[in-house]
Structure 1
Amino acid sequence: MGDQSRMTLFFISRFCQRCVLLACLLLTGSAWGADILLTAAEDGTGVQAFAQALARQRPEDHVTFTPLKDLPAPNRLPAGTRLILLDLPGLDWRLQDTQGPPTLVLRISRLQARQRLGSNLPARISLLWSDPPLDRQLRLITGILPQARRIGVLYGTDSEFLLPELTQYAAPLGLEIVPQRWDNINDSRPLLNLFKNSDVLLGLDDPQLYNPKTAKNLLLSSYARQLPLVGPNAGFVKAGSLASTYSDQADWLAVLDRLLDHSPANWPRALYPEHFKVVGNPQVARSLGIEQVDEANVAARLAEGEKRP
């Protein structure tokens, strides 16, 4: 064989090796990267910003957002897709099929899940709770109001199921739960009765009880009695409650980043975000004669307490 033929075979061999290497790299890259699909009924700027932030956080994955109205039935999506639902209409759509792709549901409260699912969690669906965890809210109270022992709790038909859990968390903290049913928000007598027997109110994330219609009555009554209201969420703190824990977009992105690093088979059925913050209302603290909440310091102490066994 001449030198030219040997040189030709050499270059052909090198070319084939490079083709095989390139194919291996492409296959490996597709194995590493995941197809992550976010959806919501409303295609607003907030939803788009969240999807873009997740895409920046996970550049090795293929992250897309598709409005709910443009999606096929859940069982027609590729089985390898990792689905993230950003609102309740998305969950209603996903519940059409038991064979849909593994799904993470954001922005759903315990109460909303109870109304849709009862006590049964469907397979291949993980719920990431939006309402503050009850034990965290109770420990917030002990951190900012150490003298408070009787925790007044308004509840309704939808939120009554939370009371046993709340009582269970309160006992080790030396707290007493004082429950009061409030079926008619136009009747202030249950509210005033609860104020007489409580040191502080803990708001449950129940929109039937805590909403724009009830906010004025609740908050003015608490001021008149000099009784702080903690919770039920960050939005109500802006309206006039004393403080609450909450998780923001950065916290949820951290949760998703951790979960998406694992196989969906290892996703928990439900969880609260590990990362959170504290928000306080300085004006309310002053009006109640209470020391202003040091948000960063209180949040750090709460987080440290959750790390202990």
Structure 2
Amino acid sequence: MGDSSRMTFCFIYSLCRRAALLACLLLAQPAWSADILLTAAEDGVGVQTFTRALAQQRPADRITFTPLKDLPPPNRLPANTRLILLDLPGLDWRLQDAQGPPTLVLRISRLQAHQRLGSTQHARISLLWSDPPLERQLHLIAAILPQARRIGVLYGAESEFLLPELRQHATALGLEIVPQRWDNTNDSRPLQSLFRSSDVLLGLDDPQLYNPKTAKNLLLSSYSQQLPLVGPNAGFVRAGSLASTYSDQADWLAVLDDLLDHPPANWPRTLYPEHFKVVGNPQVARSLGIEQVDEAGVAARLAEGEKRP
């Protein structure tokens, strides 16, 4: 074998040894040492679909899912991990430790965060809100019901903290918030009182007030009073409210793609998704004598308005 052949052989042999060593090191790492780690209490079809979609969107990143029960305490995760929590048990686990990797929390509402954190913020946790922004919902009302001025709002002990912000946004739009506390959802009198003094009802994402048990009473009362209900979310629109803004999986993937391109130190403490859609219920619109919601057109106008300073 000539000198040139021996040099080539040694070079290839060295590369192979390095590759084998690297492979052994990777195999020796624990399952939770991924650069981008998703976790949830349950590994359902939706979680698996979301993880695969994120991995396809970011092929250069190492993205893994590990069930919450298989994770160590947060402070034992590698410092360079970017952690994504997909449910509330994951957040409860993360809040046990002030240390740990930078964390993005998906699928959490303002009310759920308020129950756990109050007005405080965790230095290493960013909350990505699942419920529609109050300001965006008010702009939706202004777009589809331009004559409405009195915005009726049912609230409870858990959602009362949202009222000051809601009033602030409403005042900027020349709208009036008509609040009504509803502690006993079996009592329809507060609901009827609110309907008599409102032009439209805006639903807050409060599961104590808006749930399968209250839906029939709320929606039938809305029809009988010819008073539209906007929100509180896309699911309630399918059940019988007029319209709502919402963000779907594609919108959340776009948000994550943008955030993961930036250093965690630059992540906001809280964030509503910039990308969103509008859903309307044509049958409800017809029954209330209201023009059917142009979902794409209204969403485009709202998004354009949010881009302007």
Give me the TM-score of the superposition, normalised by structure 1: 0.91
Give 1:206 shift. 0.4
Moved over 6 A (4+): 12-16
- Cα distance change, pair 69–227 in 1 and its aligned pair in 2 (3 A): same
The one-letter code sitting in structure 1 at the alignment partner of 2:170 is A
| In 2: Cα distance, 1:202 partner to 1:10 partner | 76
Give 1:9 shift. 8.5
Aligned to 1:259: 259
Does 2:129 match 1:98? no
Percent of counterpart pairs with the same letter? 82
Give 1:15 shift. 6.5
What are the equivalent positions in structure 2 for 1:127-276 lying under 5 Å apart? Answer: 127-276=127-276
| In 2: Cα distance, 1:152 partner to 1:209 partner | 14
Task: Give 3-state SS (helix, strand or coil) of 2:164's partner.
Answer: helix
The one-letter code sitting in structure 2 at the alignment partner of 1:52 is R
| In 1: Cα distance, 2:167 partner to 2:60 partner | 45
Does 2:292 match 1:292? yes
The one-letter code sitting in structure 2 at the alignment partner of 1:282 is P
- Cα distance change, pair 11–186 in 1 and its aligned pair in 2 (3 A): closer
The one-letter code sitting in structure 2 at the alignment partner of 1:154 is L
- Cα distance change, pair 67–11 in 1 and its aligned pair in 2 (3 A): closer
Task: Give 3-state SS (helix, strand or coil) of 1:185's partner.
Answer: coil
What are the equivalent positions in structure 2 for 1:17-32 lying under 5 Å apart? Answer: none
Q: C-alpha deviations, 1:259-291, integer Å up to 9, x for none?
A: 000111110000000000000000000000000
| In 1: Cα distance, 2:137 partner to 2:91 partner | 27
Task: Give 3-state SS (helix, strand or coil) of 1:152's partner.
Answer: strand
| In 1: Cα distance, 2:47 partner to 2:101 partner | 21
Give 1:196 shift. 0.7
| In 2: Cα distance, 1:226 partner to 1:107 partner | 33
Give 1:123 shift. 1.3
Give me the TM-score of the superposition, normalised by structure 2: 0.91
Give 1:257 shift. 0.4
The one-letter code sitting in structure 1 at the alignment partner of 2:75 is N
Q: C-alpha deviations, 1:5-48, integer Å up to 9, x for none?
A: 6x4787589769x95xx99xx9xxx9xxx710000011110010
Task: Give 3-state SS (helix, strand or coil) of 1:167's partner.
Answer: helix
Task: Give 3-state SS (helix, strand or coil) of 2:64's partner.
Answer: strand
The one-letter code sitting in structure 2 at the alignment partner of 1:133 is P
The unaligned stretches of length 5 or more in structure 2 are: 27-33
| In 2: Cα distance, 1:9 partner to 1:158 partner | 76
| In 1: Cα distance, 2:130 partner to 2:248 partner | 10
Aligned to 1:280: 280
Task: Give 3-state SS (helix, strand or coil) of 1:273's partner.
Answer: coil
Give 1:142 shift. 0.4
The one-letter code sitting in structure 2 at the alignment partner of 1:117 is L
Q: C-alpha deviations, 1:163-213, integer Å up to 9, x for none?
A: 010010011211110011111111111111101110000000000110111
| In 2: Cα distance, 1:10 partner to 1:237 partner | 71
RMSD over aligned CA atoms reads 2.0
Aligned to 2:65: 65
| In 2: Cα distance, 1:62 partner to 1:274 partner | 25
| In 2: Cα distance, 1:120 partner to 1:293 partner | 38
Q: C-alpha deviations, 1:79-107, integer Å up to 9, x for none?
A: 11100000000000111111111100000
| In 2: Cα distance, 1:289 partner to 1:11 partner | 81
Does 2:119 match 1:119? yes
| In 2: Cα distance, 1:106 partner to 1:49 partner | 15
| In 2: Cα distance, 1:95 partner to 1:161 partner | 22
What are the equivalent positions in structure 2 for 1:47-58 lying under 5 Å apart? Answer: 47-58=47-58
| In 2: Cα distance, 1:83 partner to 1:98 partner | 14
Q: C-alpha deviations, 1:206-250, integer Å up to 9, x for none?
A: 001101111111100010000000000000001100000000000
The one-letter code sitting in structure 2 at the alignment partner of 1:182 is W
Q: C-alpha deviations, 1:127-152, integer Å up to 9, x for none?
A: 00000000000000000000000000
Aligned to 1:37: 37
